[in-house]
A and B are shown apart, each in its own frame.
Chain A
Amino acid sequence: MMGLLPRSLAGRTLAALCVALLLLFLAMAAVHAVLLARTVDKAAEEILARQLSSLMDSVAAAPEWDRDAIAHGLSRSDLEVHWLPANVPDPWGNEHVRWVPLSDRIRDLSRFPTAVRIRPGTIDADQKRILGVAAIADFPDGSHLLVRMSSFNLLTVDTAALYGYAAATALFVLGAAALALRSATAPLTALSTAVQGLSLEEALPAVSDHAPEEVRTLARRLNDMADRVRAALRQRTLALAALSHDVMSPVSRLKLRAAEMPDGDQRQAIQRDLAEIETMVTDVLAFLRGGHESEPVRMLHVASIVQTLVDEFASTGEAVAELRMDDVVIEGRPTALKRAIGNLISNAATHGRAPWIAVENRGSDLAIRVGDNGPGIPASDLPLIMTPFFRGDRARAAGGGSGLGLPIARAIAVAHGGDLTIESPAGQGVVATLLLPKKMRATTSDTESRRFLPRTSVNDACTTPGRGCCSRNRSDGRESTAPRGHASGR
């Protein structure tokens, strides 16, 4: 039953209105039919009464010798009038009077008859007439008048016009209701659409002044809530950014101290650990930036970026196979894209076997596909893989990685108007597809001005001013001369 209920506000209201109007219409039709029947009866009675009484008056007022002639003179094709001087046997049996109100009314109208007997006849509903009405009037002198009416037309009403009018009224009401609903729900729908596509960084677009007060209030409240959420998030972000920053200073010093250590396994292990810390902190900062590097958009030769990354990985001993390398130029932010692609290659090299990469021209888009021949991602992990800080069991066991590589890569792709998808068909490793439009869409530059992490405000959260803390909260935009292990959730 509930399943039949329309889901939308307008649908529900209009459905309720339809049902109500239909019931009203039926009730009106029924009442109308009853009233009409009564009116028709009354009118038929009155007209018959007047017709019969005038016939009786005409005949009874004449002298006795003339009455038969007058009666015959009054007859027409559908009307027989006979004067009978003597008693007549009762033609309709014992029941003398069948239509009491009619005979009463005739006696009111005519002073001659002492009694009137009526045979009601039969109603022909289709033709709206009464067939075979007959009346016998008894006069005081013992004579009688017999009237037979073969057919008597009843009053008719054009019910089609009435029902049509009622239906038109109903439609008009429904239309007006639909319009009113639309003016109420359109701003609501617009609001919910606006909220749906909104990232937390963006303010809610202004609600039209024509919107109902309730909708405007709702929009205001939503904005207030978003403000509170933003403030809470910003607080945490700033704390995280400040911490990440401050960690970089001791890491800097440790790197230099490590360089002073004698060559050996110990030094290399320390340097590896430091590189790992650096990667994690860099990843956190890149993630907090949400893929919006404030670097200018340039025309980029994608294959050269990919080849450069492959060469950099090769120099650290990770061979990545280059498959298709289409010669494609796109608009983009070089450092950000390099980071995104680097993260994907790093994942494939760290978690898979025989990593490969391909650059494919796809009409208005460009696809960069990075794959491997490794164990793949368990199906249960696949939906979680873009979640920040998520790392699969295997990745955790392998150690390293911030769990941010894929979220960063996706954020960068989205900031370019593209997207990142990860597939892992059973037994075929993992394929990451970075889809980027060749022409960057306009929205990305809009959001850039409302970046989540304001450039200037990180100072407030700095814990040790002047020591490694600085007025910047950006992560490094350097062109990494060495690939760092951007590992992510596997």
Chain B
Amino acid sequence: MEDDNELRPLVLNLLRRSGFRASGARNGVEMQHALQSASVDLVVLDVMLPGRSGYDLCRELRGACAVPIILLTALADASDRVIGLELGADDFIVKPADPRELLARIRAVLRRNGGRSQAQGTRDVAHFRGWQLDLRRRELVRPDGVVVELTTGEFDLLLAFVERPGRILMREQLLDLARHRPFGGLERSIDAQISRLRAKLATNAEDGAHLIKTVRGIGYLFGSTVDWA
């Protein structure tokens, strides 16, 4: 949903060209119509709307159903992001959004949501060995509460591991995962990203290697159980 009459068709065009079925809505009423007339997998919601704030619509929508929401706004600072995420949005994109980034975020949220329905319950924060991986804030927190910064590529890699603990992930699988990212995926090899990720996950020397184990000739394995909250 987007109130700008020129921007809305452009976004719709982009989504349709990328293989999504998309319909636009100018306001909350039209959005309700759209939600009732078809089964909706994801809502991209402009926060800055005439009349009612996108935040209100976001809260309402979240109360009514479990459809994933991506908030789209003009300028916003970190506190807007926090408000949006606390209201139940799944992601937050700042205008002017790069088209490739918009698509990547939509795919990421859809992928995450697919996992969510299988696991029966919310999958917002993953806990492993005291670490926390917050999916909505895209944030990794050390056992001692320190925020560890990840590139988008590293985050997606770690997410792939955390969603499949104890299973061997093949290099090709990881590459495929990275291919959807606009940046950072292909230029650096998976191995380089893994070693960087291990270093960031290491509170002491052998810790990182323990968490992400190498399976020689095949791929990698996440060596910890994961709790979701």
Contacts and interface: CB of A to CB of B under 8 A. Distances in A.
B98 interface: yes
A245 B77 CA distance: 13
A260 B13 contact: yes
A193 interface: no
Interface stretch (A153-161, A174-182, A214-222, A465-473): A465-473
A249 B50 contact: no
B80 interface: yes
Interface residues of B, number: 51
Interface in B1-32: 3-4, 6-7, 10-11, 13-14, 17
Interface in A256-277: 256-257, 259-260, 274
B99 A300 contact: no
A482 interface: yes
Contacts of A360: none
A108 B101 CA distance: 128
A472 B182 contact: no
A256 B10 contact: yes
A453 to B, nearest CB: 11
A311 B149 CA distance: 11
A469 to B, nearest CB: 8
Contacts of A312: 151, 183-184
Contacts of B184: 311-312, 315, 481
B95 interface: yes
Contacts of A338: 149
A439 interface: no
Contact of B146 (A252, A289, A299, A472): A299
Contacts of B111: none
Contacts of A289: 77
B118 interface: no
Contact of A470 (B48, B100, B138): B48
Contacts, number: 163
Contacts of B188: 311, 314-315
B76 A255 contact: no
B94 A478 contact: yes
B96 interface: yes
Contacts of A472: 48, 73-77, 80
Given A260-B14, A308-B149, A338-B149, A315 B183 contact: yes
Given A248-B95, A248-B96, A300-B146, A476 B77 contact: yes
A294 B78 CA distance: 7
A245 B75 contact: yes
Contact of A293 (B77, B93, B150, B196): B77
B7 A252 contact: yes
Contact of A329 (B3, B92, B98, B146): B146
Interface in A301-316: 301, 304-305, 307-308, 311-312, 314-316
Given A249-B7, A311-B196, A482-B183, A298 B147 contact: yes
Given A252-B95, A312-B184, A474 B76 contact: yes
Interface string B115-155: 00000000000000000000000100010111111111110
A475 interface: yes
A251 interface: yes
Contacts of B182: 481-482
B149 A259 contact: no
B10 A299 contact: no
A295 B77 contact: yes
B43 to A, nearest CB: 18
Contacts of A304: 148-150, 200
B81 interface: yes
Contacts of A465: 50
Contacts of A295: 77-79, 82
Contact of A481 (B79, B80, B101, B147): B101
A428 to B, nearest CB: 30
B75 A476 contact: yes
Contacts of A477: 76-81, 94
A391 interface: no
A304 B94 CA distance: 24
Interface string B179-193: 000111001100000
19 contacts: A252-B74, A252-B97, A255-B99, A256-B11, A256-B14, A296-B82, A298-B146, A299-B144, A301-B142, A301-B146, A301-B200, A304-B149, A338-B149, A467-B4, A472-B73, A474-B80, A476-B94, A477-B78, A482-B98
Interface of A: 245, 248-249, 251-257, 259-260, 274, 278, 285, 289, 293-296, 298-301, 304-305, 307-308, 311-312, 314-316, 329, 333-335, 338, 465-468, 470-479, 481-482
Given A256-B99, A311-B151, 15 more contacts: A252-B7, A256-B14, A274-B96, A293-B77, A294-B79, A307-B149, A311-B184, A312-B183, A316-B183, A468-B74, A470-B74, A472-B76, A474-B75, A478-B81, A481-B183
